[in-house]
Protein backbone atom coordinates (compact mmCIF):
# COMPACT_ATOMS: atom_id res chain seq x y z
CA UNK A 1 0.00 0.00 0.00
CA UNK A 2 2.81 2.38 0.86
CA UNK A 3 4.68 2.03 -2.44
CA UNK A 4 1.69 2.06 -4.76
CA UNK A 5 0.88 5.46 -6.19
CA UNK A 6 -2.54 6.80 -5.23
CA UNK A 7 -3.29 7.58 -8.87
CA UNK A 8 -1.69 5.04 -11.19
CA UNK A 9 -1.78 5.04 -15.00
CA UNK A 10 -4.87 2.80 -15.37
CA UNK A 11 -6.82 5.08 -13.00
CA UNK A 12 -5.61 8.19 -14.85
CA UNK A 13 -6.84 6.62 -18.07
CA UNK A 14 -10.23 5.77 -16.53
CA UNK A 15 -10.66 9.32 -15.21
CA UNK A 16 -9.44 10.87 -18.46
CA UNK A 17 -12.32 9.15 -20.25
CA UNK A 18 -14.77 10.88 -17.89
CA UNK A 19 -13.12 14.27 -18.44
CA UNK A 20 -13.40 13.80 -22.20
CA UNK A 21 -17.16 13.30 -21.88
CA UNK A 22 -19.65 15.15 -24.02
CA UNK A 23 -20.61 18.66 -22.92
CA UNK A 24 -17.42 19.33 -20.98
CA UNK A 25 -16.20 22.61 -22.41
CA UNK A 26 -14.35 23.86 -19.31
CA UNK A 27 -14.51 21.02 -16.74
CA UNK A 28 -12.36 18.90 -19.01
CA UNK A 29 -8.96 17.23 -19.03
CA UNK A 30 -7.38 20.62 -19.84
CA UNK A 31 -8.64 21.98 -16.48
CA UNK A 32 -7.14 18.98 -14.67
CA UNK A 33 -3.82 19.38 -16.52
CA UNK A 34 -3.70 23.09 -15.65
CA UNK A 35 -4.24 22.26 -11.96
CA UNK A 36 -1.64 19.47 -12.04
CA UNK A 37 0.86 21.95 -13.53
CA UNK A 38 0.16 24.36 -10.65
CA UNK A 39 0.49 21.51 -8.13
CA UNK A 40 3.85 20.71 -9.68
CA UNK A 41 4.95 24.35 -9.51
CA UNK A 42 3.97 24.58 -5.82
CA UNK A 43 5.01 21.04 -4.91
CA UNK A 44 7.57 22.25 -2.36
CA UNK A 45 4.74 24.02 -0.48
CA UNK A 46 2.54 20.92 -0.30
CA UNK A 47 2.69 18.61 2.71
CA UNK A 48 1.06 15.67 0.90
CA UNK A 49 1.38 16.37 -2.84
CA UNK A 50 0.04 12.93 -3.79
CA UNK A 51 -3.19 13.50 -1.85
CA UNK A 52 -3.61 16.89 -3.53
CA UNK A 53 -2.96 15.28 -6.92
CA UNK A 54 -5.66 12.69 -6.15
CA UNK A 55 -8.11 15.44 -5.18
CA UNK A 56 -7.34 17.25 -8.44
CA UNK A 57 -7.95 14.14 -10.53
CA UNK A 58 -11.28 13.35 -8.85
CA UNK A 59 -12.77 16.76 -8.01
CA UNK A 60 -14.75 17.17 -11.27
CA UNK A 61 -14.88 13.49 -12.24
CA UNK A 62 -18.67 13.61 -12.05
CA UNK A 63 -19.92 16.74 -13.80
CA UNK A 64 -23.48 17.38 -14.88
CA UNK A 65 -24.42 21.05 -15.17
CA UNK A 66 -28.04 20.17 -14.29
CA UNK A 67 -27.07 18.45 -11.02
CA UNK A 68 -26.45 19.96 -7.58
CA UNK A 69 -24.44 17.07 -6.10
CA UNK A 70 -21.47 16.75 -8.48
CA UNK A 71 -18.90 17.34 -5.73
CA UNK A 72 -20.46 14.78 -3.38
CA UNK A 73 -20.68 12.21 -6.18
CA UNK A 74 -17.07 12.91 -7.25
CA UNK A 75 -15.96 12.44 -3.63
CA UNK A 76 -17.89 9.15 -3.42
CA UNK A 77 -16.16 7.96 -6.59
CA UNK A 78 -12.77 8.85 -5.09
CA UNK A 79 -13.66 6.94 -1.93
CA UNK A 80 -14.59 3.89 -3.99
CA UNK A 81 -11.60 3.97 -6.36
CA UNK A 82 -8.96 4.82 -3.73
CA UNK A 83 -10.17 2.40 -1.06
CA UNK A 84 -7.32 0.08 -0.18
CA UNK A 85 -4.71 2.41 -1.69
CA UNK A 86 -4.32 4.54 1.43
CA UNK A 87 -5.51 4.85 5.03
CA UNK A 88 -8.98 6.09 5.98
CA UNK A 89 -7.73 9.36 7.47
CA UNK A 90 -5.87 10.37 4.34
CA UNK A 91 -8.80 9.32 2.15
CA UNK A 92 -11.04 11.46 4.35
CA UNK A 93 -8.80 14.47 3.71
CA UNK A 94 -8.97 13.86 -0.05
CA UNK A 95 -12.76 13.59 -0.11
CA UNK A 96 -13.13 16.66 2.14
CA UNK A 97 -11.02 18.68 -0.33
CA UNK A 98 -13.21 17.52 -3.22
CA UNK A 99 -16.44 18.41 -1.39
CA UNK A 100 -14.98 21.84 -0.49
CA UNK A 101 -14.92 22.78 -4.20
CA UNK A 102 -18.71 23.23 -3.94
CA UNK A 103 -18.26 26.43 -1.88
CA UNK A 104 -14.49 27.06 -2.03
CA UNK A 105 -14.46 27.47 1.72
CA UNK A 106 -11.74 25.66 3.67
CA UNK A 107 -12.66 22.29 5.17
CA UNK A 108 -12.21 21.94 8.92
CA UNK A 109 -9.07 19.94 9.64
CA UNK A 110 -7.25 19.70 12.97
CA UNK A 111 -3.95 19.33 11.15
CA UNK A 112 -2.44 22.64 9.98
CA UNK A 113 -0.60 20.90 7.14
CA UNK A 114 -3.88 19.48 5.85
CA UNK A 115 -5.48 22.94 5.99
CA UNK A 116 -2.56 24.39 4.06
CA UNK A 117 -2.80 21.68 1.39
CA UNK A 118 -6.55 22.23 1.07
CA UNK A 119 -6.01 26.01 0.76
CA UNK A 120 -3.51 25.53 -2.06
CA UNK A 121 -5.76 22.97 -3.77
CA UNK A 122 -8.80 25.30 -3.71
CA UNK A 123 -6.67 28.19 -4.96
CA UNK A 124 -5.40 26.08 -7.86
CA UNK A 125 -9.02 25.33 -8.80
CA UNK A 126 -9.80 29.07 -8.93
CA UNK A 127 -6.56 30.22 -10.59
CA UNK A 128 -8.47 30.64 -13.88
CA UNK A 129 -10.27 33.62 -12.31
CA UNK A 130 -6.94 35.45 -12.18
CA UNK A 131 -5.82 34.45 -15.67
CA UNK A 132 -5.18 36.95 -18.46
CA UNK A 133 -8.30 38.70 -19.75
CA UNK A 134 -8.35 36.53 -22.91
CA UNK A 135 -8.03 33.26 -21.00
CA UNK A 136 -10.69 34.36 -18.50
CA UNK A 137 -13.09 35.30 -21.32
CA UNK A 138 -12.52 31.91 -22.97
CA UNK A 139 -13.25 30.22 -19.61
CA UNK A 140 -16.50 32.19 -19.22
CA UNK A 141 -17.59 31.23 -22.74
CA UNK A 142 -16.76 27.57 -22.07
CA UNK A 143 -18.81 27.54 -18.85
CA UNK A 144 -21.69 29.22 -20.69
CA UNK A 145 -21.61 26.41 -23.26
CA UNK A 146 -21.77 23.85 -20.43
CA UNK A 147 -24.95 25.59 -19.30
CA UNK A 148 -26.29 25.91 -22.83
CA UNK A 149 -29.66 24.56 -21.66
CA UNK A 150 -30.17 27.59 -19.36
CA UNK A 151 -32.03 30.50 -20.94
CA UNK A 152 -30.12 33.76 -21.12
CA UNK A 153 -31.99 35.76 -18.42
CA UNK A 154 -31.61 32.88 -15.94
CA UNK A 155 -27.95 32.45 -16.89
CA UNK A 156 -27.23 36.15 -16.36
CA UNK A 157 -28.93 36.16 -12.96
CA UNK A 158 -27.12 32.99 -11.85
CA UNK A 159 -23.72 34.11 -13.09
CA UNK A 160 -24.25 37.51 -11.52
CA UNK A 161 -24.85 35.83 -8.14
CA UNK A 162 -21.73 33.65 -8.45
CA UNK A 163 -19.45 36.56 -9.39
CA UNK A 164 -20.86 38.82 -6.66
CA UNK A 165 -20.34 36.06 -4.10
CA UNK A 166 -16.63 35.87 -4.95
CA UNK A 167 -16.16 39.63 -5.24
CA UNK A 168 -17.90 40.10 -1.88
CA UNK A 169 -15.36 37.93 -0.08
CA UNK A 170 -12.53 39.73 1.74
CA UNK A 171 -10.19 37.39 -0.15
CA UNK A 172 -10.86 35.18 -3.16
CA UNK A 173 -7.69 33.14 -2.63
CA UNK A 174 -6.80 31.43 0.63
CA UNK A 175 -3.00 31.52 0.35
CA UNK A 176 -0.64 34.45 0.27
CA UNK A 177 1.14 33.07 -2.82
CA UNK A 178 -2.03 32.92 -4.90
CA UNK A 179 -3.35 36.23 -3.60
CA UNK A 180 -0.17 37.99 -4.71
CA UNK A 181 -0.22 36.26 -8.07
CA UNK A 182 -3.93 36.25 -8.99
CA UNK A 183 -6.18 38.29 -6.67
CA UNK A 184 -6.00 41.71 -8.36
CA UNK A 185 -6.45 40.27 -11.85
CA UNK A 186 -9.31 38.03 -10.67
CA UNK A 187 -11.18 41.03 -9.27
CA UNK A 188 -10.65 42.97 -12.51
CA UNK A 189 -11.83 40.03 -14.62
CA UNK A 190 -14.96 39.43 -12.56
CA UNK A 191 -15.86 43.12 -12.37
CA UNK A 192 -15.55 43.30 -16.16
CA UNK A 193 -17.72 40.19 -16.48
CA UNK A 194 -20.40 41.72 -14.23
CA UNK A 195 -20.46 44.84 -16.41
CA UNK A 196 -20.85 42.67 -19.50
CA UNK A 197 -23.82 40.88 -17.89
CA UNK A 198 -25.50 44.29 -17.69
CA UNK A 199 -26.84 43.74 -14.18
CA UNK A 200 -24.31 45.70 -12.13
Q: Give me the residue spans of the domains in the chain.
A: 9-197
Note the pLDDT tens digit of each residue in 1-16: 455 789 999 999 999 9
What pLDDT is attached to residue 192? Answer: 96
Residues 130 and 183: beta-carbon distance below 8 Å: yes
- Residue 60, exposed/middle/buried by CB under 10 A (0-12, 13-18, 19+)? buried
- 178 Cβ contact list (under 8 Å, min separation 6): 120, 123, 124, 126, 127, 130
Q: Would the pTM of this model clear 0.85, i.e. be above it?
A: yes
DSSP for residue 129: G
Q: How far from the centroid of its chain's Cα atoms is residue 82's Cα?
A: 19
CATH number 1.10.3470 given to 9-197? no
Give residue-wise pLDDT tens across range 29-80. 999 999 999 999 999 999 999 999 999 999 999 999 999 999 999 999 999 9
Amino acid sequence: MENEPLIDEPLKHELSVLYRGEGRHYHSLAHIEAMLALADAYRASLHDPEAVEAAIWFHDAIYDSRAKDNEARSAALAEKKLAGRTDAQRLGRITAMIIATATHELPHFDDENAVRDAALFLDMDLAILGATADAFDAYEQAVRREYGWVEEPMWRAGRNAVLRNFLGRPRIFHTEEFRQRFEAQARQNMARSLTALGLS
